Structure 1
């Protein structure tokens, strides 16, 4: 039995319809089905042309209605104790599109309007989706002030057709693989003839760091995991204040996995709404971190997804915020789970030829992320830019580059980690008589070499030269794909530290203790390094990775404090960074993350996430 639910004030969002006389071009006889083909937020005769075949320039759009407007899907504490993948599947399957109830006016606002236009008919009609399309969408009809689900289709009475029936299309999923489903839905009306309209689901558009955050999210760990957390949180708040963000914009969620950037990637989906204002939904892509299960330290662990990712369901999903879970357990040996953490997934802002921007992530033949997740990304709106991050222990694109505002024709450029610059600064400091200045002063590091001691170490110099060559390889791709030039780049000093497989194994417990990578992930990488199936050596930031910070809007960039050598009381790496940014709209605010994040092979960006203004809410006009 289909459920009928009062449409309440939610009807307003679908009722901006102008019924005018049929134009001369309208076919005589039979009912006419229309959608918002011209994308102006209303449905009327102006939507007649081009309605049967969706095109980039013209065609109705619908949302994947996967948020939780009534917050009926929030898992209970008891449900969260079930760590199985079956429980994750249950959490992911619960959203507004999976029931036949209108979950309040916000839910109705996520429907795409359809109309049959008033015509002189004397028989009932049938409205329906294409074969198998009910997997991706559902039809609704408004009757006597209530919405009734038609599912894949149903009957419209002759009286409804003569008056003009108010219908709606509800999206039930996103495009996960454009080869399996292109995202289009065809709705057909048979009533004294046949008519149809084609709609397309809105793509998931990645956020970019030029857009201001509405909400910044970080963790609130238990005391045993909180070394350095108080300093981190206080300095992050200071940076947010400088960006004129209120205290309420920061949400600290109880979670011992401190790597909030790694557990979900925020995107937005939008469609034309009433009065020309787009209807926008945030959609969080849960990371595809999958652990195949097995015995560890004498105890068997079943297959599982990264537990921290459940915060997307338990704390963040709600009105206007949905969650997508996409992973496969059918993986080749080359899939490296660290690259599935969503710190590896960033977005380039819009530029000529790519008006919605492009996804950016790290992948190589030897170290790859989950192929079903990258297929989902590549099925949305643009081909991704892929760089080599296999030389990094963690392997994320956010470790070496960050998009920042710029005073150039496109309005943005890249901040780049530069080991050569760091060495050159140290060499000049020695020439100027400051060789006794200490690296990492004011931190908990046990070894704090002077500049002279560091430069006297040939291994240290060789490692940073090698790291610089790896960054060069990344930049060759980025400059080619974006059209940026070397002069556009903002280079900042970052030193790197190198590990061979034996050193990585020795560091495995420390890294795993922070949750940045798991011990099995470390063991898998070190084994492949030993067997020649991955790079023989891998790197991690030795001084804090300055580009690995958070853009807070208004040009404010919360960068990790590098704790570089001090010359006459001034941090050399900080002052150099501030000078490099002097020609940009960026104001850097330093965030103390050394103990809380840096020592775990991550930085400020890795420990935060943000829901931002959409890259472009009216993407159909791009």
Structure 2
């Protein structure tokens, strides 16, 4: 344990009982700080590793939309504002605990000090002490009395930003912070410290069930698509209705990637927060404006947002859109472990074209981004040809779906052989952009050559995934996607070859759960039985993968070079803790206490209790949830959550009424 001064040591040798400062955090990651035993001592207290060491959260949500309301006309100020942008604690449920071991028999003039040793970290870390019903910031000037030290301090810590947060505009913070506790009693002093680190921000995988789906209201030129989304979300069992974001591009997938940070919580729970990573944006006006829209309409209570991904003078391009990011589910291979999965992004390293967010993603030190070539695609996003699905029947737990242009070609070639050569290759009703062309004419040597080249490019990615993850052909399934060669190339490519999808791109869909998938309607050739041959093939592939497919008419998106995945975004449930792979799935922190069933009665679900409480005071769940969370926190702090369930909730309701 660090820290006795020479004088303290000398006094001890002389037979004088000297005090010893002792500060502890949840270094063994069991969800509590232990001061009655040695479980939070040892190497994990002084040295942080992926396997052990205390963690804390970036508390960067916007409780009750405070930032939104304060900065209605200032986009820059809105984006920079969050719950931790000043010294007021607005979301104590996201604090990580710190405790000091009580020190008896100090002189009346003894004082204690709490500090963060590294100055760079000090500017990004907040430590709080309880005060009344709230919390007060602890600064270098804060002193704790001998009476407080005798009782032991109970503190909370959070961060103003995540790992990768910029220091002085250039350096990236690694999230490490050493918290020091110093006690001074006359001429004697003692210092102890504990090593902590901000939890990494991790991307979601498709093994996590969707709990909230977003789409842009600009799709309302034809309400059919939005209406279909709404119905599918409702039927899928997602509690929250489709969230329509106003005033944004329809390409909402490209605007942000939902990540999350999580740490051990009390009683085996997990304390976590979804955090939005906006696409780097400086040159694309529609994306730059979108940052404010995302901060205003999607970031809120319990949903954070990263605000400084790239330097102001960097140039943003299509590779920086978040549709160009997918995540391999957790795996181990060749001695490397990725307990939270691994990021895949499209890039062209040879030409120096790498997404600007990669350094930030690398700073999390958990999901080492794998770069694949996507520049042969017109839009150049990996979600146009690559997808990772949960697989219940696979020992790996997931499988790879790749676009299969040769499979799509064969479907059409077989239809021609069956006598459909004079039929239109597409069943989409006529528009100016959909000429009537017979299947025989459409199956030109150019089309065949184009799709053979696409297959070669895709095989390069498959080979890379095999080398990096250990997958075999048994883990891979092909989804029929037919490509055409783009003639008017607008974006730099890896060579002069770029393609787009002929039919709405079936692999560019929305994974809702381990069995529900939303794909774009195909509008392929209709055979003599009235079957869309391309859509039938897509449905069969996903059925074989264990998925029920709902098809959506997204033609208005397809005409502007996007499909279902491009038009949607999601927040997913928080998975099992990455620091304990294989644990049961966990949920985001609930505002509700985990009360025991009342004696002789039936226990009401905590969410139902919360809903009923809000109804009782005439507020919506979104309006009163932050106050419920605060009052539950107070109840736990006061030790009343172990009482009768009904009585507990009565006290929580009284507290909420008082707060509101």
**Per the shorter chain, which TM-score range?**
0.7 to 0.9
1: distance between equivalents of 2:248 and 2:197? 40
2: distance between equivalents of 1:308 and 1:75? 17
Aligned match of 1:315? 297
1: distance between equivalents of 2:298 and 2:466? 36
Q: Which has the higher contact order (CA 8 A, sep 6+)?
A: 1
Aligned match of 1:5? none
Selected match of 2:23 from 33, 38, 45: 33
Aligned match of 1:604? 564
Matching of residue 65 in structure 1 with residue 59 in structure 2: yes
Matching of residue 478 in structure 1 with residue 460 in structure 2: no
SS at 2:484 equivalent: strand
SS at 1:580 equivalent: helix
SS at 2:66 equivalent: coil
Matching of residue 328 in structure 1 with residue 322 in structure 2: no
8 Å CA contact 2:64–2:301 kept in 1: the answer is yes
Give the superposition deviation at 1:460. 1.8
Aligned match of 1:337? 317
Selected match of 1:210 from 203, 207, 210: 207
Give the superposition deviation at 1:286. 0.7
SS at 1:290 equivalent: coil
8 Å CA contact 2:280–2:316 kept in 1: the answer is no
1: distance between equivalents of 2:340 and 2:141? 35
Matches for 1:107-122 after TM superposition, within 5 Å:
107-120=91-104, 121-122=106-107
8 Å CA contact 1:336–1:367 kept in 2: the answer is no
Q: 1:419 to 1:279 in 2, by over 3 A?
A: same
1: distance between equivalents of 2:34 and 2:124? 25
2: distance between equivalents of 1:573 and 1:236? 22
Deviations 1:395-416 (A, max 9, x none): 1110101122222111211221
8 Å CA contact 1:210–1:551 kept in 2: the answer is no
Matching of residue 43 in structure 1 with residue 26 in structure 2: no
Q: 1:573 to 1:388 in 2, by over 3 A?
A: same
Matches for 1:390-469 after TM superposition, within 5 Å:
390-406=375-391, 407-443=393-429, 444=431, 445-455=433-443, 457-469=444-456
Aligned match of 1:562? 522
Give the superposition deviation at 1:581. 2.8
Q: 1:337 to 1:96 in 2, by over 3 A?
A: same
Give the superposition deviation at 1:259. 0.5
Aligned match of 2:47? 53
Selected match of 1:350 from 309, 330, 337: 330
Deviations 1:158-202 (A, max 9, x none): 111111111121211111179843211101111131111111101
Selected match of 1:535 from 495, 503, 511: 495
TM-score (norm 1): 0.82
Give the superposition deviation at 1:77. 8.1
Selected match of 1:250 from 242, 252, 256: 242
Selected match of 2:359 from 372, 375, 379: 375
Q: 1:134 to 1:336 in 2, by over 3 A?
A: closer
SS at 1:566 equivalent: coil
Aligned match of 1:512? none
Q: 1:177 to 1:370 in 2, by over 3 A?
A: farther
Q: Which runs of 5+ in 1 are unaligned?
A: 1-26, 81-86, 293-302, 505-521
Give the superposition deviation at 1:148. 1.6
1: distance between equivalents of 2:41 and 2:568? 47
In angstroms, what is the RMSD of aligned CA positions?
2.2
Give the superposition deviation at 1:367. 6.3
Matching of residue 194 in structure 1 with residue 188 in structure 2: no
Deviations 1:235-262 (A, max 9, x none): 323433442234x331111124101100
1: distance between equivalents of 2:139 and 2:405? 59
8 Å CA contact 1:239–1:591 kept in 2: the answer is no
8 Å CA contact 2:113–2:140 kept in 1: the answer is no
